[in-house]
Amino acid sequence: MSLLNYIGFTAHVHFFQYNDYLHPVEIAISNVYSEKTFGTCVDAPYCSSTYRDADKNNYLSTSVHKVKFPHSRMGSLPLDQAEIFLKSHYLWLDPGRGQSLAVRGLSQKLFFHALGFRVVDVETDMFQRDCTSLFNYRQ
């Protein structure tokens, strides 16, 4: 059965690099069927940027996600409370179905997988599996 049958949500997270580690600054999840979206900005008062982080963050800000850098670091929730917020809203929109989140990119997949979600990466998981079976079908 195709991975597409299990996808019920899309998700993304915007990262900035602090002390050589990626830290989430904005997280959002959207239900594919109801089009309801929930998200939060993550508070990062303890994060400080070094000179090595500046180039990476400027690139992320201008080329990847367009979130202004330096970020205000004044999100609405700390990371642990943001995790609880996301899981509770996910369970509210997906009562027991266990639908997967579709994300784009390995860093996104690893982040949401670490939070305990079932995750499908559009770039690696879906493209390789579904398109390979499609190409085999056409031959």
Q: Is the pLDDT of residue 126 over 60?
A: yes
Interatomic CA distance for residues 108 and 62, integer angstroms = 19
* CA dihedral over 65, 16, 98, 2, signed as positive or negative: positive
DSSP single-letter state for residue 17: E
Considering only residues 96 and 37, tell me which one the structure prediction assigns the higher pLDDT.
37
CA nearest 115: which of 21, 11, 5, 35? Answer: 11
DSSP single-letter state for residue 42: B
Residue 129 confidence (pLDDT):
53
Residue 11 confidence (pLDDT):
92
| Mean pLDDT on 15-42 | 84
